[in-house]
Amino acid sequence: MRSALLVLALALPACGDNASLVTTPDAAPIPSTWMEELAPATGLSVWTPEFEVDAGKEIQDCYFFTVPDLKQGADLWVDRLELGLNTGSHHLNLFRVNTVYGLDPAAGAPVDMNGVSGTVIHDGECWKSANWRDWPLVANDQNSPPGHPVLDWRLPTNVAQRFTPGEKLMLQIHYVNASTQTTPARARGGVNLHWSTDGDTEELGTLFATQQSIRICRSNPTPSYSGGCGLPAGAHTVVAANGHFHSRGQAFRIYGWDGLNTDPPADADMFYKSEHWAEPKMAIDLSVPLVDGGGIRWTCDYQWIEPEVGCAAVDAADPQHAGDCCYTFGPNVETNEHCNVFLYYYPKAARSDITCF
Partner 1 sequence: MRVLAPLLLALAACPGPQPYPCVVGDLTQPPELQLVYRDANGAMMPLANGAMVPLTRAPQGGHIMLVSVRVKNAQLCDATLQAALKDPCTGRVAGLEGRPITWTIAADGFAEPQSPMELSDYANLAVCPAANNTREIDGAPWKLEVKLYQSGGASIDQTIDVTPSCDVSSDPESCRCECRFDCTSTVDAGVPSC
Nearer to partner 1, 43 or 295 (CB): 295
Cis peptide before 223 (omega within 30 of 0): no
What single string gives the DSSP state of each residue in 243-309? EE--TTEEEEEEEEE-SS--SPPPGGGEEEEE--SSS---B-S--EEEPTT-EEEEEEEE-----TT
Near partner 1 in 167-206, by CB under 8 A: none
Q: Which is nearer to partner 1, 18 or 129 (CB)?
A: 129
Calculated CA dihedral for residues 264, 266, 270, 274, nearest 10 degrees: 60
Binders in 94-153 for partner 1, by CB under 8 A? 129-130, 133-134
Binding window for partner 1 (CB under 8 A); candidates: 109-117, 136-144, 194-202, 210-218:
210-218
Q: Is 233 in the site for partner 1 (CB under 8 A)?
A: yes
Q: Is 110 strand, coil or helix?
A: strand
| Of the candidate residues 15, 232, 286, 291, the single one contacting partner 1 (CB under 8 A) | 232
Q: Closest CB to partner 1 among 33 and 206?
A: 206
Interacting span for partner 1 (CB under 8 A) from 167-175, 178-186, 218-226, 309-317: 218-226
Only segment of 154-162, 164-172, 269-277, 320-328 that touches partner 1 (CB under 8 A): 320-328
Nearer residue to partner 1 within complex by CB, 143 or 211? 211
Q: Who's near 314: CB < 8 A, 6+ residues apart?
A: 307, 325, 326, 327, 334, 335
CB of 351 to partner 1, least distance (A): 6
Q: Is 230 in the site for partner 1 (CB under 8 A)?
A: yes
200 contacts: CB under 8 Å, gap ≥ 6: 77, 79, 155, 158, 159, 160
- Taking only Cα atoms into account, the Rg of the chain, rounded to an integer number of angstroms, comes to 20
End-to-end CA distance of the chain: 43
Q: Which residues bind partner 1 (CB under 8 A)?
A: 129-130, 133-134, 207, 210-215, 217-233, 259-260, 262, 264, 293, 295, 297, 299, 320, 322, 328-329, 349, 351, 354-357
